[in-house]
Amino acid sequence: MHPHAFVTGFAMRAFFTLAILAGAPVLVTAQSTCSSDGQPSAVAVYERFINADCDTCWISAPSHVPGPSALVVDWVVPARMGDDAPLSAAATRDALIRLQELKRPIPEQTDSYITDTGSPTVASGQLRVAEGPAFNDYLGTGIRFTQPDNTATSYHFTMLLVEAIPVGVEGSPVPRNLVRNSLHGVWQRDEGAGAKGSRTWMENRPMRIPDGAQSERLRLVGWVQDAQGRLVAGAQSVCR
């Protein structure tokens, strides 16, 4: 492919993702885009961590079953055996970074962590995630958050590219959202902006599709936390 053709094609897909995220009336095929439109907002994020050395952990049912209003994601953590680990093909260094953020050790087998609002009085915002079609091992992705008011000046966002694994695939006894790539960041507004500041933040990025991931099963999971670490919004894309 000519380099110019690659750049032009990628730019077009980036444009579609931006337009989809903003809600613009762009004409696309039914299979080309996925978003969280019409889906209920999550009240908790349930993260499951699996040690890549544990060959039976993938095929063992988790002890806890999260409720339908929780976002569920599965991390496979690199461990002692490295590339020789039974689950090494699904392991990602992003899992190690996430454990460090949570101040949790690498599990000997499995571990889980739940993030929720922490209080029924926490104000929630509106979150939207959207993805464009896969192109040259990349996926155009975006996350948009509208806060409930203008009082907060910073939020931490997480956006994960996950592969939706159905029950029975590779022996899994439960459906999984296997993390394939991740993006984390902080939206910060100048405190002097006050009520004049924008209530909406957006982030649009091409995310690389790792080797072995099936692009037709890729989805986005995203959430936003306030300065106290409480969940204020969560969303997952669905392909129509």
May I ask the CATH class of domain 3-239? mainly beta
Q: Answer whether residue 134 shows pLDDT above 90.
A: no
Q: Are 100 and 93 in contact (CB under 8 A)?
A: no
Question: Where residue 150 falls among pLDDT bands split at 50, 70, 90?
Answer: confident
Question: Where residue 7 falls among pLDDT bands split at 50, 70, 90?
Answer: very low
Q: Answer whether residue 136 shows pLDDT above 50.
A: yes
Phi then psi dihedrals of residue 19, to 5 deg: -65, -40
Q: Are 129 and 115 in contact (CB under 8 A)?
A: no
Each residue's pLDDT tens digit, 163-209? 999 999 889 999 999 999 999 999 998 655 544 557 899 999 999 99
How far apart are the C-alpha atoms of 113 and 104, rounded to whole Å? Answer: 9
Domain boundaries, the chain: 3-239
How far apart are the C-alpha atoms of 129 and 71, rounded to whole Å? Answer: 13
- According to the model, what pLDDT value does residue 12 have? 42
- According to the model, what pLDDT value does residue 114 have? 94
Each residue's pLDDT tens digit, 42-80? 989 999 999 999 989 999 998 887 888 899 999 999 999
How far apart are the C-alpha atoms of 240 and 232, rounded to whole Å? Answer: 26
The mean predicted confidence, pLDDT, of the chain is 84
Pick the range with the lowest mean pLDDT from 3-12, 29-38, 108-117, 217-226. 3-12
- According to the model, what pLDDT value does residue 193 have? 52
Each residue's pLDDT tens digit, 77-93? 999 999 999 999 999 99
